[in-house]
Structure 1
Amino acid sequence: MPLNRLLLWAVIAFGLDRLSKLVIVEWMNLKERGVIIFLDPYLNFAMGWNRGINFGLFADDAETAKWILIIVAFGISGWLFWWARRQSARLIHIGAGLVIGGALGNVWDRFQYGAVADYLNMSCCGIRNPYTFNVADIFIFAGAALLIFATNREDKKA
């Protein structure tokens, strides 16, 4: 059962990331349009190609960075899968599945586009956010937060 739960959440995260990119980047043609004003300033679509890691760090040698980041994503996902399936806590399986699915969604982008497709831009309260992110990034962040919460909870139980 834990393996099924872990795989289910990984597939959900991966599938929703791929679906969002198919709709926004491809069907709405954001990759050509560049910007689509949606609910300004709260939610807009702005095409960003991330060839490095967060905020474009280490993007100078894009081809080398691409392959290093693919290997790192597969390595971390593999280790996380191996570790999480040995745990009994439901929240650990969900969190690990979200991280794995999000990471593999971004890996898919690196194969398909040569870079991660970032397109969500959110601003609020008079502060203009210049950065973009994607659904996979949301799952990675939420999954990591859930893993921290769940492992701390399990440590307190023990």
Structure 2
Amino acid sequence: MSLLTDLPLHKQLFKALDKLGFTEATKVQAEAIPAAISGKDLLVSAQTGSGKTAAFLLPILHRLLEQESPNTGTRALILLPTRELALQTKKHFEQLAAFTYLKCGLIIGGEAYKHQVATLRKNPEVLIATPGRLVDHIEKGNPDFRDLEVLVLDEADRMLDMGFAIAMHTISEY
């Protein structure tokens, strides 16, 4: 394992990592973070508990902090197969972004639709969503993805197994 401080991350992210007590990068983080920061598209397969979520969240946060956007739309979309995983990812995002101005929105089934419309109107820099509910919002023209720079399909194989192929295609075309 390598030290997280060896990774080319924005200084505000190191504050959060320090507060969380993270000092060493896992194998997936050490390999994926530099590649993602350099702008490469990645296909990553890793065991549960390997640090995969931080391996995609940290480069997203770094990018958004380093390359400020003059526009106001959502810049990163993270799709996940279940609301539980989406809630975990949102919590992890908030921990890693604690010392930044970056905000995320959550779009999942089982939550108040009107509240989600208000979240989308605020154009959070990062949107964490499940495919089914996000498609509901797309069909009504709610999200603004004109400024979208990053798309993460977390557990894409599971989303396909759950029958979200058409929803994922609809989202990627939007």
TM-score, scaled to structure 2: 0.27
Greater Rg, structure 1 or structure 2? 1
TM-score, scaled to structure 1: 0.29
Higher share of residues assigned helix: 1
Task: Compare relative contact order (CA 8 Å, sep 6+) and give the higher one, 1 or 2.
Answer: 1
